[in-house]
């Protein structure tokens, strides 16, 4: 079946450090890929997405590239801020159209950024 | 402001009791969802509804029930049949007619069974 594997947290970085959160997936066909973020005390919100191989999603300084050859969608940011402290979820859609009702989520990675 | 409102934020229940979690949205979204979030396990889909008076089971529907009598409302009942109900519950919605995979989430309800 479809699955998403994220690097285990928690991840602790100093402000302005480089961030990578690894995400790999197993799926049939050509899924769409997503990163959602959950700030403390809030629900999840979409951070970025990519719908086909080699697409790069980007938002708020975060980037992720859909790599079909390595089945990966790693999240990166060049310089993290304290306000980036949150839990990050990688997700895939089971069908290529990216249907919300077919999302499979990873287990989440807690990021803490220290001043 | 448009958004999704879940209530209560925290709820305690004794074993054997049913409890209903409220979810209301004013985004005019057609589709609504309930997810369960457990530590280290990500989100799992309980039920979803694409239109009023229709809903479908997700991956872990056993021990839960829902209704969709109004477009704005999608309450979730955690019944006594749910073996391990202590969890964080998230309600979400999306635009069914233009389904891009984006979900809009509420702030969640934390249920603790004593």
Give exposure, B63-83, as e/b (b: 16+ Cβ within 10 Å).
ebbbebeeebebbbebeeebe
Q: What is the pLDDT of residue B75?
A: 98
Please give the distance of CA B19 from its chain centroid, rounded to a whole number.
12
Q: What is the pLDDT of residue B97?
A: 59
| Interchain CB distance below 8 Å, B100 and A106 | no
Q: What is the pLDDT of residue A98?
A: 43
Half-sphere exposure of A59 (CA within 13 A, CB side): 12
Q: What is the pLDDT of residue B67?
A: 97
Distance from C-alpha of A53 to C-alpha of A55, rounded to nearest angstrom: 6
| Interchain CB distance below 8 Å, A34 and B43 | no
At B25-55, the pLDDT tens digits run 999 998 899 999 998 788 899 999 988 999 9
Q: What is the pLDDT of residue A97?
A: 43
* Token pair for A103: 């999302």
CB of B104 closer than 8 Å to CB of B6: no
At B98-113, the pLDDT tens digits run 556 788 899 999 999 9
At B56-113, the pLDDT tens digits run 898 899 999 999 999 999 999 999 888 889 999 999 998 765 556 788 899 999 999 9
CA dihedral B8, B12, B13, B18 (to 10 degrees): 10
At A34-83, the pLDDT tens digits run 999 999 888 899 999 998 899 999 999 999 999 999 999 999 999 999 99
CB of B79 closer than 8 Å to CB of B65: yes
Q: What is the pLDDT of residue A70?
A: 95
* Greatest extent of chain A over all pairs of C-alpha atoms, in Å: 43
Q: What is the pLDDT of residue A101?
A: 62
Q: What pLDDT band is residue A25 in, cutting at 50, 70 and 90?
A: very high
Q: Does A98 touch chain B (CB under 8 A)?
A: yes
Q: What is the pLDDT of residue B1?
A: 66
Residue ranges of B 52-91 with Cβ closer than 8 A to chain A? 56, 90
Best mutation target, B1, B27, B32, B42, to test chain A (most A CBs within 10 A): B42
Q: What is the pLDDT of residue B72?
A: 96
Q: Is the pLDDT of residue B10 over 70?
A: yes
Mean pLDDT of chain A: 90
Compare CB distances from B43 to A42, A93, A105 and report the shortest one's residue.
A105
């Amino acid at each position: 079946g479809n699955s998403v594997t994220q690097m285990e947290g928690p991840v602790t970085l100093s402000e302005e450090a480089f961030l990578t959160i690894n995400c790999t997936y197993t799926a049939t066909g050509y899924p769409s890929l997503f990163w959602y973020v959950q700030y403390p005390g809030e629900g999840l919100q979409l951070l970025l997405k990519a719908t086909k191989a080699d697409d790069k999603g980007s938002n708020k300084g975060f980037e992720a590239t859909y790599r079909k050859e390595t089945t990966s969608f790693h999240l990166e940011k060049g310089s993290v801020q304290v306000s980036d402290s949150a839990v990050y979820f990688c997700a895939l859609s089971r069908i290529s159209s990216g249907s919300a009702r077919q999302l499979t989520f990873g287990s989440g990675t807690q990021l803490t950024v220290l001043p | 402001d448009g958004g999704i409102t879940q209530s209560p934020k925290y709820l305690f229940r004794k074993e054997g009791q049913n409890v209903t979690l409220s979810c209301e949205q004013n985004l005019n979204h057609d589709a609504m969802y309930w997810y369960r979030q457990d530590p280290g396990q990500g989100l799992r889909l309980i039920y979803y509804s694409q239109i009023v008076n229709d809903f479908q089971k997700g991956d872990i529907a056993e021990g839960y029930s829902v209704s969709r009598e109004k477009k704005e409302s999608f309450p979730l009942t955690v019944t006594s049949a749910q073996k391990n109900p202590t969890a964080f519950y998230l309600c979400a919605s999306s635009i069914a007619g233009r389904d891009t995979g984006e979900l809009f989430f509420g702030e969640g309800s934390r249920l603790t069974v004593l």
